[in-house]
């Protein structure tokens, strides 16, 4: 039995490596997606273009403006001295936000009255606007504290001291890159398995395979193992890249990670082979694979938190293998979860 399965395995791998298209599927997506998601898909805002409209021209207002322009999140691209200049800058997306310090800012500060600072923000992209406002509030809060300390004022009654666990600097790469392990393993493994039987059926070789003494179980194993091996290699490649290139700490045990990967691969291969058994042509196989991949990724918590979804959709995520793997891979990477909770 094993001789025949090994023969099938050799044939599967040769077919994968010799075919230009499938060779690309194995090598192209991992590298492209790793670069795209590793660098492009980030929740951190960097060098947001801002404009400063400072009517006050005092030491205090310059300090506040400097706190903005000096922050890595912001970059001052324009300085304004007329009220009319604000609207065109935001309308034409030259800047995302305008910091407007009124002419009574320092006077009110010194009189110990509330000194208003206006921020005009482009709300067209609400997600970015919210993130930017977060930075604004942090900078203003720091300014308040500093001012209170240097002028011996009463400090605010409650002070916020944030310490982020697991990801001290809240770097979104730490969140995104481990997720790519799940994403890429899904894409590559499902395409390899979904095409494997469909390709044979398209070329008529499946009949030829069925008239050999190979039993259905042997064919199943022979078709599942290549996807498993390739998925394992892809996953390991991303894990190594995450640690060595993106410097994401891997705190948990490798046993736990690989146990998760193996379970995840079993689930994907099952789905891939099911798609393949239904598809008559490779094109149908590929379509079927994408029909599964897109919702699986969206409903996995890879990009948007599952907790934000409507309850019905949240229930739907329970049948998505990627959802569970996302939890495993992130908790192993950042929380350092050991293997034990994975063993029933």
List contacts with another protein (CB under 8 A): 3-4, 6-8, 10-11, 14-15, 18-19, 203-205, 207-215
Contact predicate 147/135, CB 8 Å: no
The distance of closest approach from Cβ of residue 17 to another protein in the complex, given in angstroms and rounded to an integer, is: 9
Name the residue with tokens 């599942």: 224
Contact predicate 195/12, CB 8 Å: no
Q: Of 19 and 315, which CB lies nearer to another protein in the complex structure?
A: 19
Q: What is the DSSP string of 166-181?
A: SSTT--HHHHHHHHHH
Q: Of 7 and 133, which CB lies nearer to another protein in the complex structure?
A: 7
Q: Of 38 and 226, which CB lies nearer to another protein in the complex structure?
A: 226
Q: Of 6 and 36, which CB lies nearer to another protein in the complex structure?
A: 6
Cα separation values, 34 from 132, 177, 284, Å: 26, 8, 27
The distance of closest approach from Cβ of residue 6 to another protein in the complex, given in angstroms and rounded to an integer, is: 7
Q: Of 1 and 36, which CB lies nearer to another protein in the complex structure?
A: 1
Give the three-state DSSP class for 150.
helix
Contact predicate 180/320, CB 8 Å: no
Instruction: Give the N- to C-terminal CA distance of the chain in Å, as an integer.
Output: 32
Q: Of 213 and 344, which CB lies nearer to another protein in the complex structure?
A: 213
Q: Of 217 and 240, which CB lies nearer to another protein in the complex structure?
A: 217
In the structure encoding, which two tokens stand for residue 17, read together?
Answer: 């490596």
The distance of closest approach from Cβ of residue 38 to another protein in the complex, given in angstroms and rounded to an integer, is: 32
Residues 6+ apart with CB under 8 A from 81: 53
H/E segment holding residue 235: helix 216-244
Of the candidates 118, 161, 139, 153, the residue with the CA atom closest to the CA atom of residue 63: 139
The distance of closest approach from Cβ of residue 221 to another protein in the complex, given in angstroms and rounded to an integer, is: 13
The distance of closest approach from Cβ of residue 163 to another protein in the complex, given in angstroms and rounded to an integer, is: 56
Cα separation values, 256 from 109, 238, 318, Å: 56, 16, 21
Q: Of 134 and 203, which CB lies nearer to another protein in the complex structure?
A: 203
Of the candidates 114, 117, 93, the residue with the CA atom closest to the CA atom of residue 103: 117
The distance of closest approach from Cβ of residue 199 to another protein in the complex, given in angstroms and rounded to an integer, is: 9
User: How many Cβ atoms from other residues are within 10 Å of residue 46's Cβ?
Assistant: 9
Q: What is the DSSP string of 245-277?
A: TS-----S-HHHHHHHHHHHHHHHHHHHHHHHH
The distance of closest approach from Cβ of residue 201 to another protein in the complex, given in angstroms and rounded to an integer, is: 10
The distance of closest approach from Cβ of residue 216 to another protein in the complex, given in angstroms and rounded to an integer, is: 9
């Amino acid at each position: 039995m094993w001789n025949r399965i090994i023969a099938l395995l050799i044939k599967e791998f040769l077919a994968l490596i010799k075919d230009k298209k499938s060779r690309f599927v194995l090598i192209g997506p991992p590298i492209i997606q790793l670069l795209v998601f590793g660098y492009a898909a980030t929740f951190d805002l960097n060098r947001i273009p801002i404009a400063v409209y400072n009517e006050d021209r005092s030491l205090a207002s310059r300090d506040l403006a400097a706190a903005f322009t000096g922050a890595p999140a912001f970059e001052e691209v324009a300085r304004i001295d007329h009220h009319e200049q604000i609207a065109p800058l935001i309308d034409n997306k030259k800047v995302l936000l305008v910091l407007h310090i009124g002419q009574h800012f320092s006077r009110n500060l010194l009189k110990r009255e509330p000194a208003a600072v206006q921020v005009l923000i482009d709300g067209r992209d609400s997600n970015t606007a919210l993130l930017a406002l977060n930075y604004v509030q942090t900078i203003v809060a720091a300014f308040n504290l500093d001012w209170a300390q240097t002028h011996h004022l009463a400090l605010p009654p409650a002070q916020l001291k944030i310490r982020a666990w697991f990801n001290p600097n809240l770097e979104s790469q730490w969140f995104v890159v481990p997720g790519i392990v799940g994403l890429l393993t899904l894409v590559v493994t499902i395409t390899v398995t979904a095409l494997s039987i469909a390709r044979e059926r398209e070329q008529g070789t499946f009949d030829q395979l069925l008239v050999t003494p190979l039993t259905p179980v042997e064919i199943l194993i022979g078709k599942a193992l290549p996807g498993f091996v390739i998925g394992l290699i892809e996953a390991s490649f991303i894990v190594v890249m995450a640690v060595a290139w993106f410097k994401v700490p891997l705190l948990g045990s490798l046993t736990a990670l690989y146990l998760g990967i193996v379970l995840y691969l079993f689930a994907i291969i099952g789905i891939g082979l099911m798609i393949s058994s239904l598809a008559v042509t490779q094109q149908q196989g590929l379509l079927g694979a994408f029909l599964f991949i897109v919702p699986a990724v969206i409903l996995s918590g890879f990009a948007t938190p599952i907790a934000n979804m409507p309850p019905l959709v949240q229930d739907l995520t329970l049948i998505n293998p990627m959802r569970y793997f996302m939890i495993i891979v992130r908790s192993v990477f950042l929380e350092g979860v050991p293997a034990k909770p994975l063993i029933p």
